[in-house]
Amino acid sequence: MNHLPTEPAVVEPIPEPEVLRGKRFSIVWLIPLLAVLIGAWLVVKTIRETGPTITIVFKSAEGLVPGKTEIKYKDVTIGKVQRIQLSENLSQVLVSAAMSREVAAHLTEDTLFWIVRARVALGEVSGISTLLSGAYIGMMPGRSGKVVNQFKGSEKPPAILRDTPGRQFNLRAEQLGSLDIGSPVYYRQVKVGRVTNVNMADDGTGLLIEIFVEAPYHRQVKRNSRFYNASGLDMKIGTDGVRIDTPSLASLLLGGISFFTAEDIQTTPPAAESQIFTLYDNRDAANAASYSYREYYLLYFEETVRGLSAGAPVDFYGIKIGEVVSIRLLFDQDTLTFRIPVLIAIEPDRIELSRELAIPEYEVMEKLVEKGLRAQQRTGNLLTGQSYVSLRMQPDAEPQYIRMGDVYPVLPTIHNTVEEIAATAKRLLDRFNHLPLEETLADIREAARQVTDMTGSKALESAIDNIDESFATFKKVTSDLNDGTLPKVNSMLDQANASLARGEEALATANTVLGEGAPIAYNLNRLLLELQEAARAVEALADYLERHPDAIVFGKGNQE
């Protein structure tokens, strides 16, 4: 079988693909572009809404969870806790939180933070919602000061929120009793406020209690209002039976303060901002107190205050207007000197005012000090040595002003009466020591001897009688001059001349008996010359009064 030869196959070239480029944007690219735009918007939104990061210092982190615990103001979330850690000395907890941008300007020095938990107290339940949602941090925005990023938090909410209408008042008490922060304040057995703070007085002699009375009851606190401790039962047994007085069950268990305003005929002004009320132990003590409004001043003494004690009176020209509150001893380590600060309380209501008040009431004491008001320690009883503080006007005192101390204004003082008496006695003793006592006593002995030798002389006795008569007449003339008026001047001059004439006769007799060189005659002659000089002075005075009668009222002055 014959095979036919085959022809080789013709290989055709493969055609190249033709790429066609689109002229329009593909819709597929919209998806990644949109994702980029959304991401950028979220970043910008996060940056714009993210506020500052702050640190809050607490004693404990009980109930706080990082990433969950929120910071709220008026139940609006304004921040969230990010991290919780201990301080370096392990004594505190540092809570870092991211705050919203809208509150960044209100994070000032007086911003308050506290932990809100469920709290159950007598008559008050708060934070119940935290039983399910957990604790959160409450915030009270600041009002003034510079913006800061670290704050000190409180374990309890503030007793009174800052925007609560009302007013703050200050009380001074000897002891706290059952009172504490949050204790209620009552007016006519209605709860109108609470205790907001308790501090020890700087001198350590008492307590300063701050209370807040809500509006509109704060208008009932007048200048003569009286506060007393209403804690516990006030029970009295008398002829009319048993009396039990307590404002409420809360004050019985937790303590409380009550106040009332004493009745007064005159309109009582409202209490001043700086006024400090006295907190009495009970209502009877408050009723017995005559004055409740007090102003406190500080006195500094550099001499001994022996006999001065707390409770000693403070008087003004013999009238008690206050009392001494405390006495301390202060040592200045720089100058190695001692000073004794004495705190006094003045009750201005003891002083009745007349006419209209031409200057503000708070400037009255400043004006009095500028006019010469000074404080001085005085001895009240020489037998017991008890002292008191006297306020007197000293017009000749050096100009001084009231200066403000750390807490109380400081009144200027002068040396006490004991120091003045000691200084005066020393000056008198010095003058007495410089007197020529020995020479004087020798002259007196010589004169006595001469008189003894001449006691038998009748002429001397007559001369002495004439001198006595002259002295009596001259004293009568001077008395008439003091009590009389211008029409009597001429007659008094006549009497003075007659007295001088009798004195000259007495002197002549004494010269005849004793001799002109005798010491007694010399002294009598000297006395007569002095009487003549006095007569001439009286004559000159009479002549001047005749020409200027108004000098009796207005003084001599400069007459033309």
> Tens digit of pLDDT for each residue in 71-122?
999 889 999 999 999 988 888 999 999 998 888 888 998 899 998 887 655 4
pLDDT in tens, 310-340: 888 898 888 888 889 888 888 888 888 888 8
Q: At what angle do helices 458-483 and 489-514 cross, to 10 degrees?
A: 160
> What pLDDT was estimated at residue 525?
62
Instruction: Name which residue leads in pLDDT, 414 or 484.
Output: 414
Per residue in 366-378, pLDDT (tens digit) is 888 888 888 888 8
Rg (CA), the chain: 48
What pLDDT is stored for residue 486 in this prediction? 45
pLDDT 10s digits, 420-465: 666 666 676 666 667 676 676 666 666 666 666 655 555 556 655 6
The answer on pLDDT for 41 being more than 80 is yes
Task: Please say if the pLDDT value at position 25 is more than 70.
Answer: no
Tell me whether strands 373-379 and 313-316 are parallel, antiparallel or unpaired. unpaired
Note the pLDDT tens digit of each residue in 1-10: 455 555 555 5
Query: CA dist 291 to 72, 272, 311, 346, Å?
Result: 47, 16, 15, 10
| pLDDT on residue 485 | 47
Which pLDDT score, from 0 to 100, does residue 553 have?
46
Is residue 417 scored above 50 in pLDDT?
yes
C-alpha closest to that of 171 among 197, 202, 210, 224: 210
Span of 45-49, 65-69, 174-178 with lowest mean pLDDT: 45-49
Q: How confident is the model over 502-514, as a mean pLDDT?
A: 56
> Which of 102-116, 127-141, 395-409, 498-512 bottoms out in mean pLDDT, i.e. has the lowest?
498-512
Tens of pLDDT, residue by residue over 162-198, are 778 888 898 988 888 878 888 889 998 888 998 888 8
Q: What is the pLDDT of residue 456?
A: 54
Total residue length of the chain: 560
Question: Where does 437-554 sit in CATH, by number?
Answer: 1.20.58
Q: What are the residues whose beta carbons fall under 8 Å from the beta carbon of 130, sequence distance 6 or more?
A: 63, 116, 117, 118, 136
Q: Could you check whether the bond before residue 216 is cis, i.e. omega within 30 degrees of 0? A: yes
Asked whether 480 and 537 are in contact (CB, 8 A), the reply is: no
> One-letter amino acid identity for 169?
F
In Å, how far from its chain's centre is CA 78?
43
Provide the residue ranges of all domains of the chain, joining segments of one domain with +: 46-152, 166-288, 297-352+360-423, 437-554
- Residue 49 tokens, joined: 């809404």
Segment 486-494 shows an average pLDDT of: 54
d(CA 279, CA 297): 19
> For the chain, what percent of residues have pLDDT higher than 70?
58
Report the C-alpha gap between 175 and 280 in whole angstroms: 10
Average pLDDT, the chain: 75
Token pair 């009877």 is at which residue? Answer: 284
Burial of 487 (0-12, 13-18, 19+ CB in 10 A): exposed
| Residue type at position 37 | L
Residue 120 structure tokens: 């159950």
CB neighbours of 395 closer than 8 A, spacing ≥ 6?
371, 372
- Answer with the residue of higher pLDDT: 270 or 146: 146
How far is it, in rounded angstroms, from Cα 73 to Cα 496?
Answer: 101
CB within 8 Å of 542: residues ≥ 6 apart: 486, 489, 490, 492, 493
